[in-house]
Chains A and B, each alone.
Chain A
Amino acid sequence: MDDKRNPLSFQLDVSDFLPAEESEKQSLVVMRESVNFWKDGFRRLKKNKVAMISLVVIILIMIFAFVLPSFYPYSYEQQIRGSENLGLLQYSEDELARRAAGEKVFPHFLGTDSLGRDTTIRIMMGSRISLLVGLIASAIILIIGSTYGAISGYFGGKIDMIMMRIVDIIYTIPDILIIILLSVTLKYPLKDLAANVKGFAWIDIVGVGLISIFIVFSLLYWVGMSRIVRGQILSLKEQDYVIAAKALGASSGRIIRKHLLTNTIGTLIVTTTLQIPSAIFTESFLSFIGLGVSAPMPSLGSMASQALNGIRSYPHRLMAPAIMISIIILSFNLLGDGLRDAFDPKLKD
């Protein structure tokens, strides 16, 4: 052994061999700070740059879609005579004349369509429709799916079996076809309802197309959610604290609400967030093939579809809704991924 490695050649002191204080020992033990589920999740979410940027983008789009239209000088159904088919930032002759006269004329950033409607405001309204559809549809799916799944998972046995059979059958029905079929056929009874039954006039305001989309989603799209919730409940139900609650005489409803749903909340948030873009996806598809919202209300899908005819001369009319819809879906996807990583790492694909 060489000198360097021999401990005895170090400067050792008798005091080194004194017993160490408890506090000295403790200073070496790095205890990780214990944080609760939400704090920990939000901390992770905040660290995730992509998710935070997506969140900011979503907020900006929401302002763009819900706030800006109120201050915008044009409205989505306003047809400006003489201003048809304007290009980006173009003015019509009339508007140029007014500008020459010293009047302030608000520019058409994205031009106008063949009926002289300002494209910018129509994009805003289209985004509003997309966001509304995404949010409301996901809320519907969340409510129906989680209730159904929770009941099925909690009661188990025969009830579970029958309920899941139904889910299986709905699951194998090709949903998009049924959605198309429903959208085609529901229009008439809904119009009837709006026209003839008091208290249903609001249907006309919201639009028959939108209502059919919501009905369709709430009829078919909740099955995925209900399966996830059921799976969670099934595994949670075996946990000791649920058995303890049962032993204490808690009612079924209370156990579902207090113990089971609160413990699945992470999964619910993530699944719901990821449901939003898929609902938007479906809505844009339906509008593109001519179902969905009815004119003059614009939708990003129908705007893209209409732009197809003039694609050679007015490509921006296609690009604007196309880019908008992609950004909306992308940001929700990325936010959903971020939420999943933060709150529910188990769910990863």
Chain B
Amino acid sequence: MSKALLNINNLKVSFFTPAGEVKAINDISIRMEEGDVLGIVGESGSGKSVTAYSIMGLIPYPGKIVNGTIEFNGHNIHEMAEKELQNIRGNEVSIIFQDPMTSLNPVYTVGNQIQEALFLHTNMDKQRAYQRSLELLNLVGINEPEKRLKQYPHELSGGMRQRVMIAIALACEPKLLIADEPTTALDVTIQAQIIELMMELKKKINMSIIVITHDLGIVASMCDKIAVMYAGKIVESGTIDDIFYSPQHEYTKGLLKSIPKLNKKEHEKLVPIKGVPVDMLNPPAGCPFAPRCDSCMKICLKRMPEYTNISDDHKCACWLLQKKEYEAATGGER
């Protein structure tokens, strides 16, 4: 196994709100090698964005890491001081956000905002930084870069702004790019362009990417590995084939059933996942998906299942798998 670029172990992140502790991330572990493209999939509130922010040491107030470690590129993120984190952010790890409309500061020009990152992490002079920002805009496929540098964000379209965000993120050639729902706020055609751009750039610069999304289509077109999150836990993780062709967790299966497919037979219906996610203020003792699960068993409501290793890469936390193991182990008695 090659050297891990990112290693998250038993991470727990909680938000201490006036109403109580919200366990946004509840004991997750992720491992990524250099060059990997990892997709984190889940519905809103499942903790996927918080996972991304914790890698950058950017957990918003009043959130805190309660337990666990984050190792990235030789740094122990979880114990680093703010000053040290600032040297890493935008330099070794970058992030692009969901909404390019609001992620750029409206009162500064595009050029100003790109060069800001350069001045922070390199010792380029003004001239060099200007050249580099031109290069970057070319790289992300923006035409008339000289003109764009002088424009304000509101003068650009959504897709263009997301390209600018990517240019900012790539300014210092990071090892890891985190894309937090990079296309959710964009038109479908623009979505495809942005995904294509990211894959191209990955090849050019050889960086790793974490894509956070609720859109399985994006995952399928970009990622090597997938982690499926539900209510702050990774319920299943594996390669793209594992997840798409032999999903084990009932939630994963549900997700796959709920997306339209062209090659499906006509009479097959889309099956939505019934119910609503659990209240994160009072998470249940058992599997968080249990209340919505069609195959829910008594044990599911009482205790969280451990991971079952289906193959080297493929892991899943579900009592149904545990049941099989249990039956296999105690098979004689039955």
Report which A residues bind B (CB closer than 8 A). Answer: 5-8, 10, 12, 14-20, 24-26, 28-30
Q: A26-B291, A29-B291 are in contact. Are A20 and B305 (CB under 8 A)?
A: no
Residues of A within 8 A of B302 (CB): 16
A7 to B284: give the CA distance in the assembly, Å. Answer: 18
The SS class assigned to the A binding surface is: helix
Q: List 11 A-B contacts (CB under 8 A).
A: A5-B306, A14-B334, A20-B290, A20-B298, A24-B298, A25-B290, A25-B293, A25-B296, A29-B276, A30-B278, A30-B282
Interfacial chain A residues near B303, Cβ < 8 Å: 7, 10
Residues 301-334 of B, flagged 1 when their CB comes within 8 A of A and 0 if not, give 1110110000000000001001101100100001
Q: Which residue of A lies closest to B282 (CB)?
A: A30
Query: Taking the complex as formed, is B101 at the interface, i.e. its CB lies under 8 A from any CB of chain A?
Result: no
Tell me which of B284, B298, B305, B329 contacts A28 (CB under 8 A): B284
Hey, which chain A residues are within 8 Å of B323, CB to CB?
17
What is the CB-to-nearest-CB distance from A182 to chain B, in angstroms, rounded to a whole number? 41
> Given the complex, which residues of A lie within 8 Å of B279, measured CB to CB?
30
CA distance A20 to B295 in the complex (A): 8
Contact partner, A19, options B291, B296, B326, B334, Cβ 8 Å: B296
B299 interfacial by beta-carbon distance below 8 Å:
yes
Q: Complex formed: what's the CA distance from A221 to B290 in Å? A: 59
Minimum C-beta distance from A143 to chain B (A): 39
- B160 interface residue per 8 A CB criterion: no
Q: How far is the CA of A18 from the CA of B299 in the complex (A)?
A: 8
Do B300 and A20 touch (CB < 8 A)?
yes
Cα of A15 to Cα of B255 in the assembled complex, Å: 29
CB atoms of A20 and B306 under 8 A apart: no
Minimum CB–CB distance for B277 against chain A, Å: 10
In the complex formed, the residue of A with least CB distance to B333 is: A14
Do residues B326 and A8 form an inter-chain contact, with CB atoms below 8 A?
A: yes
Across-interface contacts of A19 in B (CB, < 8 A) = 295-298
List A contacts of B74 (CB < 8 A). none
CB-based contact A16/B291 at 8 Å: no
Q: Does B217 contact A (CB under 8 A)?
A: no
B326 touches A28 (CB 8 A): no
Alpha-carbon distance A145/B306, docked complex (angstroms): 64
Verify if B60 is at the interface (C-beta below 8 Å from A). Answer: no
Once the chains are docked, how many angstroms separate the CA of A18 from the CA of B323?
A: 10
B62 contacts chain A at the CB level, 8 A cutoff: no
Closest residue of A by beta carbon distance from B319? A17
Chain B residue nearest to A32 (CB atoms) is B279
Q: Which residues of A contact B334 (CB under 8 A)?
A: 14
Given contacts A7-B306, A17-B319, contact A28 B275 (CB under 8 A): no
Please name the residue on chain B nearest to A14 by beta carbon.
B334
B287 and chain A: residue at smallest CB distance: A28
The minimal Cβ–Cβ distance linking B18 to chain A, given in whole angstroms, is: 12
Cβ–Cβ contact B296 & A12, under 8 A: no
Q: Which residue of A lies closest to B302 (CB)?
A: A16
Query: Which B-chain residue is minimally distant from A12 (CB atoms)?
Result: B326
What 0/1 readout, one digit per residue, does chain B (267-294) give for beta carbons within 8 Å of chain A?
A: 0000000011011001010100011010
Q: Do residues A25 and B297 form an inter-chain contact, with CB atoms below 8 A?
A: no
- Min CB gap A281→B, angstroms: 34
* Distance from B289 Cβ to chain A, minimum over Cβ atoms (Å): 10
Shortest CB distance A49–B (Å):
15
Smallest CB separation, A343 vs chain B (Å): 21
Nearest CB of B to A17, in Å: 5
* Minimal Cβ-Cβ distance residue in B for A24: B301
Interface members, chain B 58-102 (any A CB < 8 Å): none
Q: Are A20 and B325 in contact (CB-based, < 8 A)?
A: no
B276 to chain A: which residues have CB within 8 Å? 29
CB <8 Å contact, A17 and B296 = no
Known: A5-B306, A8-B329. Is A18-B301 also a contact (CB below 8 A)? Answer: no
- List residues of chain A with CB within 8 A of the CB of B275: 29
Q: Complex: how many Å from CA A25 to CA B305?
A: 16
Whether A28 contacts B306 in the complex (CB less than 8 A), given A20-B298, A20-B301, comes out as no
Q: How far is the CB of B4 from chain A (nearest CB, A)?
A: 20
8 Å CB contact of B322 from A5, A7, A18, A24 = A7
B185 CB → nearest A CB, Å = 21
